[in-house]
Amino acid sequence: MSSVLTSPFSPDEHGLRGVSLDLYLRQIFASLPPETVRQLYQHMRAEALRKELVYYRDGKTEGINVIMRPLAMFAEQLNYFHYVSQTLLGALKRMPELYLKDFQVREIVPLEDGEAKWLWDTWGASHNQFHTVFGRLDAVADLSGAFSKDSLAFIEANLVGAGGIHLIPTAEEIVVENVVPIMESVAPDLELKTAGDLRELFIQEMLDHAEIIGRQGRAVCFVDPKYSDDGPNEQESLLRYYRARGFEVYHADPEELYLRNGEVYYENHLIDVAYRDYETRELAEMEAEGMNVRPMKQLLRQNQMVSSMAGDFDHKSCFEILTDARFAAYFTMDERNVFRRHVLWTRVLRETRTTDPIGELVELLEFTRANREILVIKPNRAYGGDDVLIGPSIAQNDWEAAIARAVAEPSNWVVQRLARIAVYEFPTLVETGDVTVAPFYVVYGFAPTKYGLAILGRASQKQVVNVAQRGGMLAVLVGQHKHPIYAPK
């Protein structure tokens, strides 16, 4: 007699209410007339420019594409994503402390000489007690079918100048104001809303930080390459947004800051807390070139900077610390459960013996050569999707060459378990003006705060998904319905 297999998952693991909310949205959007979709597409592109949802490239302004149809999840899913993201961010915030006391950690997440000196010069006991990191955790998850928590997998962290504070809520506004009313008119039982305005979550984090470190004022300064012509220029848009709501906010280039009696000023305004879009290694290079970055160092030393020096530990190899049993004692049982379930197995690509994704001891280089189909090789610290080699998409000889390069450049490359990137179908316009449905890879950027979670959805028809590589922004909304959702016949 054959035995009956039982599922290892609890009922809620199979999916919230059985069928995804995203499936319902797909059905609703498919019922819209093509002319309505065409008009929506043109209107949304105009709205992106009007609301300054733009990217500067080589001195030219490009509107960032907003995918017409949003994704949606239930509040239960959002709450779980928030819990996991906060847990992961809390662990990454401890990296400076681990680096300073553990030589093995230094080998896996090495700092350049200049930025290491900045860490030793600025990190103190007060930082171990409290410091703030505001960043983005890039992940994949499948919302297209019956939701499984195990579909959530974190790829990497961006903890300094992660961006999106203006972009995310603006993209959500465009969709909520223009697309959602049309969808709700077709399906009156549907209700979609944003998870929370990231601009409000962010400024509250900044003000809380100022209060906890004992600052009497609440003056916030955005510090970035103010006069650069490339990338999204969010700070000016945020400046107008916050000032219109009565916040004391400034925007400065590092060299526009100055010291007076041990305090940092900008144009005669005392700064209480700053948000930086500079990595410390950039600041160290500027210092070596003779530029005056002493105010930036002072802000870090006095714990007035967000992100703190912990933000510079956004090496992809930090995930080796989280997924290698050698470092398990640094984390709680709950944290380790989160890592095991949701953090992708990652190793600095080097000649060593280590554990593979299922915990077996292996020679890392040999394992990497033999398992190209399930692995990806990435630069340890680069961002923007550059030089990412997806194992199944390249030939074995190219894979071997990448391994050889990694061995020749110690600590510069990691090998990571290949994530399953969910593919969604979205309506799009082709050159003829016709409406068609095309598949897109989707990656999420989670920006967790204690007040809530904002989600930056990014969609692309390339497996390396990045707005800087002309991908599209995707609004991820929270939905509910008044009646059961049924799968299509």
Please give the structure tokens belonging to residue 347.
């190793």
Contact between residue 414 and residue 377 where contact means Cβ atoms under 8 Å apart: yes
* Residues 289 and 254 sit within 8 Å (Cβ to Cβ): no
What domains appear along the chain, each with residue ranges and CATH number? 11-315+422-426+440-481 (no CATH), 346-417 (3.30.1490)
The reported pLDDT for the residue numbered 414 is: 97
pLDDT tens digits, one per residue of 407-416: 999 899 999 9
Report the pLDDT value the prediction gives residue 9, as an integer from 0 to 100.
31
Handedness of CA 355, 360, 364, 368 (dihedral sign): negative
CA distance linking residue 144 with residue 289, whole number of Å: 51
CB 12 within 8 A of CB 476: no
pLDDT tens string, the chain, 489 residues long: the values are 333 333 333 334 333 344 568 888 888 888 888 889 888 988 998 998 899 888 777 667 777 889 999 999 888 889 999 999 999 999 999 999 999 999 999 999 999 999 999 999 999 988 988 999 999 999 999 987 666 688 999 999 999 987 789 999 999 999 999 999 999 898 888 889 999 899 999 999 999 999 999 999 999 999 998 776 665 678 889 999 999 999 999 999 999 999 999 999 999 999 999 999 999 999 999 999 999 999 999 999 999 999 999 999 989 999 999 999 999 999 999 999 999 999 999 999 999 999 999 999 999 999 999 999 999 999 999 776 678 999 999 999 999 999 999 999 989 999 999 999 988 888 887 777 788 888 889 999 999 999 999 999 999 887 665 544 446 899 999 987 555 555 555
* C-alpha to C-alpha distances, 404 to 218, 345, 385, 386, nearest whole angstrom: 51, 21, 21, 18
pLDDT at 428: 82
* 152-178 pLDDT per residue, tens: 999 999 999 877 899 999 999 999 999
Q: How many Å apart are CA 377 and CA 349, to the nearest integer?
A: 8
Q: Is the distance from CB of 303 to CB of 131 less than 8 angstroms?
A: yes
Radius of gyration in angstroms for the set of CA atoms belonging to the chain, rounded to a whole number: 23
Q: What is the pLDDT of residues 223-277, one digit of tens each?
A: 998 776 665 678 889 999 999 999 999 999 999 999 999 999 999 999 999 999 9
Residue 44 CA to residue 178 CA, distance in Å, equals 8
Question: Whole-angstrom Cα distance, residue 124 to residue 103?
Answer: 19
Instruction: Name residue, tokens 């990656």.
Output: 443
Share of the chain above pLDDT 90, in %: 66
Q: What is the pTM of this model?
A: 0.90
* Predicted pLDDT of residue 104: 96
CB 442 within 8 A of CB 465: yes
